[in-house]
Amino acid sequence: MSTGRNPGLRERTRRAVRAELSRTAMDLFTRHGYEATTVDDIAAAAGISKRSFFRYFPQKEDVVLADVELLGDEVVRGVAARPVDEAPWDSLAAVLGEWAEGILSTTAATRRLRLVEGTPALRARLHTTRDELRRRVATALCDRDGVTLDRFEAELLTAAAAAALDTASHRWSLDPDADLRGLVTRAFEVLRPAAATLE
Partner DNA sequence: CCTAATGTGTCATCGAGTGTCACAATCTAC
Partner DNA sequence: GTAGATTGTGACACTCGATGACACATTAGG
Residues engaged in binding its own copies (CB under 8 A) = 120, 123-125, 127-128, 131, 152-153, 155-157, 159-160, 162-164, 166-167, 170-171, 183, 186-187, 189-195, 197
Residue 160 interacts with DNA (CB under 7 A): yes or no: no
How far, in Å, CA of 37 to CA of 43, rounded? 11
In the complex with DNA, the residue whose CB is nearer, 5 or 105, is 5
Pairwise CA distance, residues 150 & 142, whole Å:
7
If one asks whether residue 102 binds DNA (CB under 7 A), the answer comes out as no
Nearer to its own copies, 1 or 194 (CB): 194
* Count of other CB atoms within 10 angstroms of residue 153: 16
Please state the φ and ψ torsions of residue 101, each to the nearest 5 degrees.
-65, -40
**Cβ density class 134-143: b for 16+ within 10 Å, e for less:** beebbbbbbe
Q: Which is nearer to DNA, 82 or 130 (CB)?
A: 130
158 counts as binding DNA under rule CB under 7 A: no
- 192 contacts which partner out of DNA, its own copies, none, CB within 5 to 8 A by kind? its own copies
Residues 57-96 that bind DNA (CB under 7 A): 58-61
CA-to-CA dists, residue 86 to 54, 92, 94, 122, 198, angstroms? 44, 10, 11, 34, 8
- The nearer residue to DNA, 127 or 192, going by C-beta atoms, is 127
Residues 147 and 150: their CA atoms lie apart, in Å, by 10
Stretch that binds DNA, among 7-15, 21-29, 134-142, 155-163 (CB under 7 A): 7-15
Partner in contact with 82, chosen from its own copies, DNA, none, beta carbon below 5 to 8 Å by kind:
none
CA distance 58 to 69: 14
Give the separation between CA 159 and CA 98, rounded to whole angstroms: 18
- Residues ≥6 apart with Cβ < 8 Å to 58: none
Picked from DNA, its own copies, none, the partner binding residue 107 (CB below 5 to 8 A depending on kind) is none
Binding residues with DNA: total (CB under 7 A) = 25
49 makes contact with DNA (CB under 7 A): yes
Binding site for DNA (CB under 7 A): 1-2, 8-10, 13-14, 17, 37-40, 47-52, 54-56, 58-61
